[in-house]
């Protein structure tokens, strides 16, 4: 059994996905009342040690355009990667 911690999956959280849906970090932060630096931190995978479900949901629904049903179908491995105790992705 693997042990370690989770981090956001950099391949999944891509700032370009916002552009594909016709938005940008500034507009998303205004609409969701989340600071732009927080949005960018999630999208650029900048050392997110703790995450907010509200921010994740805002990015997934209003940023990437996923429906609640599509979010339910996501696997944990789609959104997060396991980081082993030695610091390597698993």
Total-model pTM = 0.77
pLDDT attached to residue 61: 92
pLDDT attached to residue 87: 56
Segments forming the whole domain that contains residue 18: 4-84
Distances 20 to 24, 39, 67 between C-alpha atoms, Å = 9, 16, 16
In a domain, 77, yes or no: yes
Query: Which CATH number does the domain housing residue 76 bear?
Result: 1.10.260
Write out the chain's pLDDT in tens, 90 residues: 667 778 888 888 888 888 777 788 999 999 999 999 999 888 887 777 778 889 999 999 999 999 999 999 999 888 888 877 765 555
Burial, 30: exposed, middle or buried (Cβ in 10 Å; 0-12, 13-18, 19+)? exposed
Domain total in the chain: 1
In a domain, 58, yes or no: yes
């Amino acid at each position: 059994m693997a042990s370690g911690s989770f981090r956001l999956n950099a391949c999944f959280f891509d700032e370009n996905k916002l552009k594909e849906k016709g938005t940008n970090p500034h507009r998303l932060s205004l609409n969701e009342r989340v600071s732009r630096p927080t949005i960018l931190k999630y999208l650029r995978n900048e050392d997110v040690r703790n995450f907010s479900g509200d921010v994740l949901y805002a990015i997934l629904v209003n940023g990437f355009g996923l429906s609640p049903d599509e979010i339910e179908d996501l696997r944990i491995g789609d959104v997060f990667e396991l980081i082993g105790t030695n610091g390597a992705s698993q």
